[in-house]
Amino acid sequence: MIDRVTEYCRKTVNEGIMGQYHILACKRHLRDLDRQGTSKFPYIWVPEKAEEILEYAETLTITEGFERKPVKLLGSQIFDLGCPFGWIKQENGKRKFRRSYESMARQNGKSFKNGIRGTYIANFCGYNYGKLFTVATKKRQARIAWEEMQKFIEADEELGEFFDIKNYKSTIIAKDTNSTIEALSKEGGLEEGFRAIFASIDEYHQHKNNKVYKAIYNGTRALLETLISIITTRGEELNSACYEFDKYCINVLLDIITAEDLFIDIYTLDPSDDIWNPQNLIKANPYLASTKEGLENLIIDMNTAKNMGGEELRDFMTKSLNLWVENTEDRFTSPTKWAKGKCDLELKDFSGKECYAGLDLSHGGDLTTLHLEIPMENGESFEYSHSFIPRGRLTEHIKSDIAPYDVWEQMGLLTVTGGETEFKNNYKFIIKYLKDIIEAYDLKLQGIGYDPHNADGFLEDLEQFGAPLLEITQSARFLNDGTVDMQLDIDSGKIKYNKKQELLSYSVSNARVVKNSFDEKKVDKEPGKKTKRIDPVDAMIDARIARMKLKVDKIDTNKEMEDYLKQMGWR
């Protein structure tokens, strides 16, 4: 049985030449092969379905250039085209992936691949009267992927019999299925309501917000099968929908959060790579750096950027190396460092142990988080987080945030209280939850650190636990020691947490560090990112500060007295 996708993944992982995120994408496919068809992973890999689109692609003809030539797929293109089509749902045989995000340096065939996908889905997947779109902020950009489809159709007389091209309307009609492929743009009146069986969203880094993506994606919920394909090169604007989605995708690849419907492939250099080493160019340029001419041109651009610096360097790093030119100094920690702490430990493994609690109370009915820190041997600690949110706020957050709150509720990471019209947290749920886990696991609560915001009517309930209480003043001066201590422990791998703690990990990825005039630190949201919740991180640091300030060393008074008497020569 031919399975070029899996063969490529194994080769890529074994060689270790490509960038870490592309390797992680390949590892994700191989990992899923081992768990396919299980209750926790009800999907099946059917290599024949992957081969169908690959074989279709290799019947196409490229006409752009000095001479016509048949499509010959590279290994990376085999993976990006075949993987999303080979995974199906066990229950109904429909495709597993409904979204895809592919990021690579410019001129590496992003629109080329969507040209293949679009024509294939339009006429050869069996869906009648389907709507397919190529989408961008500008009509000219939206037509790039559309024109790739046009070129494939016009290059092949046999393929041309299946399609009717209306160039003046930027529309292609698939004759057998009556499906249409149309180029759309935000400037042209793109609105919600499109039921797209396929959409190519081009150069996402140019989008000021996620409204175009959401307009297309929200219209697909009733469809059994769809593919919303985001293709982009990274840009310079970190305050963008693309940057946020890119960060979300990295967390999926790192297995910090789950998104089974999302195919991801990111071609970029690793943080430790030398940007002036030509051997690293292949990591961001899977097509260009595989050809003699393309590699030579990339090296010319590299030398120009090295000699000129400034804007030329910035352009080379983003467009040719596919790097975000970001300031990482204010990041609380990196996803890679945080991922080192994932483990299979659970609360039940710490029955009878001492613990410290941190409470971050919500502002305006948003997330409220209870965090437990359990000291371990060798200076390590186990971190346990659970959050609470009113049902009305949950509905809002699902709409406004790029985060799966409903999935986290199903995973037991989030307790949702009240009904659809409830927008205020009931702190009684938190008290009961804390009592229940203390009793269930015989935990010895040593102290509670709490955010004083909205805590007035809450303190009496906290006092019932019989543990010391510590008001956590929300200033950099008060929070500095706990923040720094937690950062150092994360860096050294001393922080452990269950691998299913996705909401905590998502919060960690959002956290930034701000400083006062004395260079003292505390965590905060990124400026202008109100929907990037960090409440679980706040609660984690509250628990750490409670542990640091409330810990009472157990002193053996008899031994201390004996030592004192010996020092005085009286023993």
**pLDDT for the residue 181:** 95
**pLDDT for the residue 567:** 57
Measured torsion, CA atoms of residues 522, 527, 530, 535, in degrees rounded to the nearest 10: -10
Stronger pLDDT, 526 or 226, i.e. the higher one: 226
Least confident of 33-47, 205-219, 276-290, 542-556: 542-556
SS3 for 450-466 is: ECCCCCCCCHHHHHCCC
Range with top average pLDDT, 82-91, 313-322, 383-392, 558-567: 82-91
Indicate the CATH number of 4-267 among 3.40.50.2020, 3.40.50.150, 3.40.50.300, 3.20.20.140: 3.40.50.300
Residue 324 and residue 318 in contact, taking contact as beta carbons nearer than 8 Å: yes
H or E element: which one contains 474? none
Q: What percent of the chain has pLDDT over 70?
A: 91
Least confident of 43-57, 371-385, 522-536: 522-536
Angle at 440 between CA 437 and CA 442, to 5 degrees: 95
Per residue in 63-101, pLDDT (tens digit) is: 888 889 999 999 999 999 999 999 999 999 999 999 999
Nearest to 416 by CA among 402, 398, 435, 439: 398
pTM, rounded to two decimals: 0.67
- 3-class state of residue 186 by DSSP: coil
Fold of 335-550: Nucleotidyltransferase; domain 5 (3.30.420)
Q: Where are the domains of the chain?
A: 4-267, 335-550
Per residue in 466-505, pLDDT (tens digit) is: 999 999 998 999 999 999 999 999 999 999 999 999 999 9
CA dist., res. 284 & res. 512, Å (int): 27
Residue 291 has pLDDT above 70, yes or no: yes
**One-letter identity of residue 280:** N
